[in-house]
């Protein structure tokens, strides 16, 4: 293998470049990124950057030492595959390769209407939105998920009048379920944020958010945080299977032996959960590239982590590990009306997933126990004073 291209300039892309060199790849290496900026970290965008505490989040990478050609501001437009590689069509011209890493990430979903709407995916998005967060400004946020809550946190801290509109009956009902999401409702009131649940949006108009019931919410800025879709339109006609994301096996290899996929755009097979997983969070972008690089270089590797993500909202650190849709029951660890608590999902005596609120030690221990498939005493787990490692059944 002499020519490898990494398409996508996010964290998954830069980590793929680093992993290939770390594993001894010596050939030509090119990174193609649609953004004009060098690769940067995204989690601070909705936190430090939006608050004005941090101006940029560029990843600390020595591109000269990595011997990687950067094609910034250039977009992939198509892919032609052959037996030993193929050609990537880009705005910079056609680029032949014999190894390809797909890491093009995802793009935010937007709403109908001709009014301006902010999304938060790029550093430029964050800077534009930050300029709108002035004291007294009316900010309407669509979606009470992870991003919506983080933007609401920053906007409220800036003195804005914030209204959050959520179609479901509770915040985070999609990823966590309505029961758990309901426990976060008081956080909004505590921060002075108006929360409207069960409210569907019809359109975004200049200066107003129009709800399905005809109500209008006047706003100086409207932020839409209702999810993302993998950025894969450029793969049309390539022959690669796309089903929600680029379909890969447990090694992150696609249907073509010289093509792997990582990050927000990869739908990978998990041995652990016996299903396809598409996890759009920082931890996946950080760790999957090591496996993808090994696979591309013909070395044995399997990607099968315990999914993990976190969110900082309304002065709380919220962390999650595992995969709870497969669980049978929910056990609370502490009182959800208090400041610090956790929720644990079980199947029998096996811990499947955990959500922690300001209980970082619980998260660290639970993540390890889930990975080990440990059996736990649910009654001991329910006692917040008992360390989780002490609840393991022998």
Low-confidence ranges of the chain (pLDDT < 70): none
Specify the pLDDT at position 159: 97
Give the total residue count for the chain.
Answer: 394
Specify the pLDDT at position 394: 83
- Of 388, 292, 384, 280, give the one whose Cα is nearest residue 341: 384
CB atoms within 10 A of CB 175: 15
Specify the pLDDT at position 170: 97
Helices (H) and strands (E) in the chain, counts: 11, 26
Whether 280 contacts 261, CB under 8 Å: no
Task: Go through the domains of the chain in sequence order and give each one's CATH number.
Answer: 3-107+229-296 (3.50.50.60), 110-224 (3.50.50.60), 315-391 (3.30.390.30)
- Of 278, 289, 281, 284, give the one whose Cα is nearest residue 251: 289
Beta bridge partners of 309: 320
> What proportion of the chain, given as a percentage, has pLDDT over 90?
97
Specify the pLDDT at position 373: 94
Specify the pLDDT at position 326: 86
Specify the pLDDT at position 129: 97
Q: What is the DSSP string of 132-191?
A: T--TT-EEEEE--SHHHHHHHHHHHHTT-EEEEEESSSSTTHHHH-HHHHHTTHHHHHHT
Whether 161 contacts 147, CB under 8 Å: no
Identify the residue whose tokens are 């950057």. 49
Q: How far is CA 135 from CA 161, 165, 382, in A?
A: 8, 20, 43
């Amino acid at each position: 293998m002499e020519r490898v291209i990494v398409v996508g300039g996010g964290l998954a892309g830069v980590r793929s470049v680093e992993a290939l060199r770390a594993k001894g790849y010596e050939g030509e290496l090119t990174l193609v990124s649609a953004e004009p900026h060098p690769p940067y970290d995204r989690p601070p965008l909705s936190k430090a950057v939006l608050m004005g505490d941090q101006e940029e989040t560029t990843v600390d990478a020595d591109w000269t030492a990595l011997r990687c050609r950067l094609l910034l501001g250039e977009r992939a437009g198509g892919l032609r595959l052959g037996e030993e590689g193929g050609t990537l069509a880009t705005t910079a011209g056609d680029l032949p390769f014999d190894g390809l890493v797909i890491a093009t990430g995802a793009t935010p979903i937007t709403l109908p209407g001709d009014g301006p709407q902010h999304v938060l995916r790029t550093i430029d998005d964050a800077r534009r939105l930050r300029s709108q967060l002035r004291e007294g400004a009316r900010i309407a946020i669509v979606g009470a998920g992870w991003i919506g809550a983080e933007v609401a946190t920053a906007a409220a801290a800036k003195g804005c009048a914030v209204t959050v509109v959520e179609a479901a009956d509770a915040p985070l009902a999609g990823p966590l379920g309505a029961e758990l999401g309901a426990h976060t409702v008081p956080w909004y009131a505590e921060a002075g944020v108006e929360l409207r649940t069960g409210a569907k949006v019809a359109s975004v108009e200049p200066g107003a958010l129009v709800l399905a019931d005809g109500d209008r919410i006047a706003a100086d800025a409207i932020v839409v945080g209702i999810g993302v879709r993998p950025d894969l339109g450029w793969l049309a006609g390539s022959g690669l299977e796309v089903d929600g994301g680029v379909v890969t096996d447990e090694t992150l290899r696609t249907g073509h032996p010289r093509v792997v996929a990582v990050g927000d755009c990869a739908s990978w097979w998990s041995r652990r959960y016996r299903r396809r997983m598409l996890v759009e969070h920082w931890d996946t972008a950080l760790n999957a590239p090591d496996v993808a690089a090994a696979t591309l270089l013909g070395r044995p590797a399997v990607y099968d982590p315990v999914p993990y993500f976190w969110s900082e909202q309304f002065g709380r650190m919220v962390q999650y590990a595992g995969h709870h849709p497969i669980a049978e029951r929910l056990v609370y660890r502490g009182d959800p009306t208090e400041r610090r608590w956790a929720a644990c999902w079980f199947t029998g005596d096996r811990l499947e997933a955990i959500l922690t609120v300001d209980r970082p030690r619980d998260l660290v221990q639970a993540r390890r126990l889930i990975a080990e498939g440990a059996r736990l005493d649910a009654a001991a787990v329910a006692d917040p004073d008992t360390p989780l490692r002490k609840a393991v059944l022998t």
